[in-house]
Amino acid sequence: MVHNFSAGPSILPQEVLNEASEAIKNFDNLNLSLIEISHRSKNFVAVMDEAVALVKKLLKLPEGYSVIFLQGGASLQFTMLAQNLMKNNAGRAAYLDTGVWANKAIKEAKLFGEVEVVGSSADKNYNFIPKGYATPTNVDYFHCTSNNTIFGTQMHAFPKVEAPLVCDMSSDIFCREMDYTQFDLIYAGAQKNMGPAGATLVIVKDEILGKSGRVIPTMLDYTTHIKKESMFNTPPVFAVYVSMLTLRWLDKNGGLSWIEARNRKKADLIYNEIDRNSLFFGTAEKEDRSLMNATFLLKDEAAHKEAFDKMWKEAGISGLNGHRDVGGYRASIYNAMPVESVQVLVDVLKDFEQKHA
């Protein structure tokens, strides 16, 4: 068995993979593959409808929110959201700078208006979430990134702002219970907690749209996809289908309260061991630690790296190497990761200390 700690694309529930594999051969007993039927067939429309309904149910979204599935990843959202929300004349937005992806979002927004960075943790290599910043009132929206995979930090509270609150939840969507109505626009690439790469979830409060006064290319206009229920053009059929299966798995098992409890158990397991173990240390500030990505380093890399790498690989662990911006190790423990796999990693850490401390 492989214990898959990949940062993304990442682990999905085994039953979802089995069902997806079958659907490639024979979908809905049509004797046709899921990927060779019309996206406008009643069979696929039912998939899209169920995916949208599950998102609304799991996040407890009231009337007035639209849920769409797009393509292009969060990276395309960086420009789409700015084009849709930033006023055409003297547009202005506030961004919280919590890492590499927040920076990419800031760069794209600057093409469409003025960007005020209200807080940044760049000076400490993004090992914490800025707090106590002033939230400007005269902006078209406020943008933040809820989880920073590279740096292992996560926002555990969100600012109260007068402007629409926009959040990139690519790496922690569906990981916890929260009041999701505090957000006006949520977007997330599928490939961490939702499904395979190739679909992007966008949740938008309808009332914030249509106010920019900007001419937007059809495919980049949220209203295009809302009006056509994500079928303006051919959607990424397979990625939407597997996302739907994953959401169904989440719902069936107990939804966000169930997954949050499981995620906290996994996070406690790994963080407690990192803090206890004399050979390792965590890189993120404790109060801002991520439920999804635990980043840690060896205290003496020169002495121990080779032996530790050998040990975790022999234990069947994969994808544990950290991002080059932080180095060391990153245990990505997304929704689908079982507690048992985290325990295997914890056991390796303990065992390594016993042999090498």
241-280 positions binding a copy of itself, by CB under 8 A: 242
Among 233, 253, 257, 272, binds a copy of itself (CB under 8 A): 233
Among 51, 59, 163, 237, binds a copy of itself (CB under 8 A): 237
Among 76, 100, 117, 226, binds a copy of itself (CB under 8 A): 76
Stretch that binds a copy of itself, among 152-160, 216-224, 262-270, 295-303 (CB under 8 A): 216-224
158 binds a copy of itself (CB under 8 A): no
326-345 positions binding a copy of itself, by CB under 8 A: none
Query: What whole-number distance in Å separates Cα of residue 63 and Cα of residue 204?
Result: 11
Which position among 140, 172, 184, 192 bears the catalytic label? 192
**Least distance in angstroms from the C-beta of 327 to a copy of itself:** 16
Is there a catalytic annotation at residue 28?
Answer: no
Query: What whole-number distance in Å separates Cα of residue 328 and Cα of residue 38?
Result: 46
Among 220, 269, 298, 333, binds a copy of itself (CB under 8 A): 220
**Least distance in angstroms from the C-beta of 218 to a copy of itself:** 6
223 binds a copy of itself (CB under 8 A): no
279-318 positions binding a copy of itself, by CB under 8 A: 318
What is the chain's alpha carbon radius of gyration, rounded to the nearest angstrom? 21
Query: What whole-number distance in Å separates Cα of residue 248 and Cα of residue 264?
Result: 21
215 binds a copy of itself (CB under 8 A): yes
> Cβ closer to a copy of itself: 56 or 110?
110
> Cβ closer to a copy of itself: 17 or 178?
17
**Least distance in angstroms from the C-beta of 288 to a copy of itself:** 25
Site for a copy of itself (CB under 8 A): how many residues?
A: 61
Task: Using CB atoms within 10 Å of the CB of residue 338, give its burial: 0 to 12 exposed, 13 to 18 middle, 19+ buried.
Answer: middle
43 binds a copy of itself (CB under 8 A): no
Beta-bridge mates of residue 40 = none
Is there a catalytic annotation at residue 325?
Answer: no
Is there a catalytic annotation at residue 101?
Answer: yes
82-121 positions binding a copy of itself, by CB under 8 A: 104, 107-108, 111
CA distances 195 to 3, 58, 124, Å, are 18, 15, 32
122 binds a copy of itself (CB under 8 A): no
Which residues bind to a copy of itself, rule: CB under 8 A?
1-2, 4, 6-12, 17-18, 20-22, 24-25, 30-33, 35-39, 71-76, 78-79, 104, 107-108, 111, 189, 191, 195-199, 215, 217-220, 232-239, 242, 318-319
Catalytic residues: 101, 168, 192
